[in-house]
Amino acid sequence: MAGYLTTGDVARRLGVGLNTVKRWIANGLLQGVQTPGGHWRIPEASLEAFMRERGMLDMGRPLRVLIVDDEPSVCMLLSDMTKQCWPDAEVKSVEDGYTGLVEIGRWRPDILLLDIFMPGIDGLEVLRRLRADDELRGDMDIIVITAGYDRPEIRRKLRQQADVVLGKPVQLGELRIALEATRAFRRRISHTV
């Protein structure tokens, strides 16, 4: 069944026992469909909603990083730098704020690397819309990387809305420290220890 997972798949992805998954289904916490043979299948969308509601991290998929910057060369550089820090990470790049918001809703990245000065919907508007919609923001970490870092009023405003603010051009060491400071990184480390 396409789009469905077995109870074993769910147990492995979340690092729990098979009986725990079956209890969640029996208690109505996780939606499941029983096959004619008596086995349970869990719709992927149901599992994602279950995890999102509980702040759970999917250990069965790589860390997802979305880059939103209108300069293709910066997108490529940030993608390469992110892969140097986390070789297994899934990294996507988009070149405008509108597409960035669509991808956030569709792909659910763990970390957002966001430029501020872009045509159309700029980074400040992306931040405003994320702040206005808790479901869209979820528990995604936001790292702003901007050429406006040297302007105190911009830096002050951004620090209220983002987890980390870095200036352009960003150095690999700075980006690594910022990535390792994210909640997504700390959850992965604490899960493996």
Q: Are 108 and 48 in contact (CB under 8 A)?
A: yes
Is the pLDDT at 58 greater than 90, yes or no? Answer: no
Least confident of 8-12, 138-142, 153-157, 183-187: 183-187
Q: Give me the mean pLDDT over the 21-38 stretch.
A: 92
Q: How confident is the model at residue 188 (pLDDT cuts 50, 70, 90)?
A: low
DSSP character for 35?
A: -
3-state secondary structure of 164: strand
DSSP character for 182?
A: S
What values do phi and psi take at 164, rounded to 5?
A: -140, 145
pTM over 0.95: no
- Between 46 and 70, residue with greater pLDDT: 70
Is the pLDDT at 156 greater than 50, yes or no? Answer: yes
| The pLDDT of residue 183 | 73
Q: Are 63 and 88 in contact (CB under 8 A)?
A: yes
| The pLDDT of residue 25 | 94
